Structure 1
């Protein structure tokens, strides 16, 4: 190796993410130097993202940002959009991060079109809307509740289209519960989804960072208070293969390098992707346990090193997302769309 450079990494994490962020900074700073494509020795240096005023002529003080909290702090998003435009590498790209997390219904539609099983889903207009009178909504049609019941069948899951941390998720078992729950959603735009029937008491949550995909057995908990169960090789090989392939396609189709994806496995062994746009996977050591926590941290450190080693740059608007969208919208048979999507995703996951 020749000469020496420094690659700076900003880490942002609030609340429950503070411990994760502090440990990640330490891990990056302890990482061995990396050789970039020019043969230069590059030292990785991480620090917390400072929040202050931003002048549009200033250059950002970092080469990369690992974003674990901007969804909690809108000012950070404005700052990050600007720094993305200036060439900073983000995990995740703030444009795709912010867009997908607020439009989950679109992800259900697109991912299903790529040949991945996704539960039947409806998007519901908000129960109420500020600034609109009854005269303004004269052309709104009554819901066809009978059609919804026929397509989804009870029980169903109602959850926000802009989903975060499993907040405001409801399980409804009959029409009376459905109406009562919907009437209580106020201005929130909700999705209504078929509940996949599973013989298991657990789901599968994949923590995905860079090229690392970690399937974990877990039990759902409201407000992202899920519990994780350490068990190696808990998936049958064929089911495990499908979950990894599905995860690769989902991550690349959404342009996410840090994500968690949830699957339910039905009685026939089919894994259903039930939630897959979670660009800040749960980082609580108390929930993950030491093994998964360390795996997660190591994968992020490796991702930083890979970006430096390959000299990879971040596009302002990810062109790869358009390629997956073109496949999803094509008239090809679903098996062919899945094959093409997997081939495209594998370009990222190859060593």
Structure 2
């Protein structure tokens, strides 16, 4: 029996709904349940073929558990090695490399020093920063937001340099991005699952949580809808996310990816609405079942984006494992024993 596990925190409805939906479908020799952890032994496999991760971004212990599980064959959605390395500033840079029009942005060091650092830790930064050039490049108005995560309380629209410096002083130890504000005609938030299923929701980011999703969903004109989906797929294929949302601003005929990094998308039906919630639950369940059916023991079952796979020139984790086994055999042939007991 293959197990699909949901790893989650204080949210209840979405993880429970996904577990129930998977089990209602009665996939052959597959069952879904909440992940249970009573010990994590080094290099020991987990009991799960697939784990859907909704919480490890906030809990380092869970992140290490997932990487250990992935090393031993668990398909973790999303890849715990890549998601921890990604950020919104990199996303914008990658979009430009892909030929996608992206808002201008700069990354800025945290206003306050991070823990365990001194003034000399930043000797390579030239203070004061070249703010006149930065402001000229990005322009005003602009959005000032964290480079990673969903800290919406720290997202500010700044109209001028005075407002920028006031906000900057209130951001503490958070690394921030100053991003060009795009005056858009339409705005969409798009779920992307399995790098093949895209669902577009009209979205009003300036509104409060509930009002953001109040417009008609998945109803963009067919040609525009097609272009948005193609762009969302291109970005997710490059980054390698199994589950993600992408925010797209439409200005005239140009599509701007505003926020590409949201691998633990909001899934509260009281906010996103019943129709959107139903789509997300159903397609998450389908994706988890597909990954469980495709799961191969003692192989890497992670998803890696094209950005990484092209960089490794085809050197997959499985090939690396095979090379390690060859080296170990050669050592044994030389009567050198590798101590794996530690």
Give the alignment's TM-score, normalised by structure 1.
0.80
Q: Secondary structure at the match of 1:274?
A: strand
Who is 2:140 aligned against?
154
Specify the alignment match of 2:76 in structure 1.
90
**CA–CA distance in 2 between the matches of 1:90 and 1:214?**
22
The 8 Å contact of residues 166 and 224 in structure 1, kept in 2 or not, is answered as: no
Q: Which has the larger radius of gyration?
A: 2
Contact residue 144 and residue 177 of structure 2 kept, 8 A: yes
Match in the other structure for 1:118: 102
In 2, distance between residues paired with 1:25 and 1:173? 46
Higher alpha-carbon deviation: 146-155 or 171-180: 146-155
Name the CA distance, whole Å, in 1 between partners of 2:107 and 2:80.
24
Alpha-carbon deviation of 1:151?
Answer: 1.4
Q: CA deviation at 1:315?
A: 4.8
- How many angstroms does 1:316 deviate by? 5.6
RMSD: 2.5
Q: Name the counterpart of 2:219.
A: 234
Tell me what 1:331 maps to: none
Structure with the largest fraction of strand: 1
CA distance in 2, matches of 1:215, 1:234: 8
- Give the paired residue count: 308
2:264 to 280, 288, 298: 280
Of 164, 168, 171 in structure 2, the residue corresponding to residue 178 of structure 1 is 164
- Offset at 1:128? 2.3
Q: Are the structure 2 counterparts of residues 320 and 139 from structure 1 closer, same or farther at C-alpha, using a change threshold of 3 Å? A: closer
2:289: which partner in 1? 305
Distance in 1 between residues matched to 2:312 and 2:211, nearest whole Å: 35
Name the structure 2 match of 1:21.
15
Distance of aligned partners of 1:14 and 1:221 in 2 relative to their CA distance in 1, 3 Å threshold:
farther
Contact residue 239 and residue 271 of structure 1 kept, 8 A: no
Q: C-alpha separation between the residues in 2 aligned to 1:72 and 1:235?
A: 35
Question: Which among 236, 249, 255 is matched to residue 240 of structure 2?
Answer: 255
Distance 1:226 1:192, change over 3 A: farther
What is the Cα deviation at residue 292 of structure 1? 1.2
Distance 1:320 1:124 in 2: 28
What is the SS of the residue equivalent to 1:219? coil
Unaligned runs of 5+ in 1: 1-5, 34-41, 328-351
Q: What is the CA–CA distance in structure 2 between the aligned matches of 1:150 and 1:270, rounded to whole Å?
A: 22
Task: Quote the offset at 1:144 in angstroms.
Answer: 1.7
Unaligned runs of 5+ residues in structure 2 are 314-342
**Aligned partner of 1:322 among 294, 308, 314:** 308
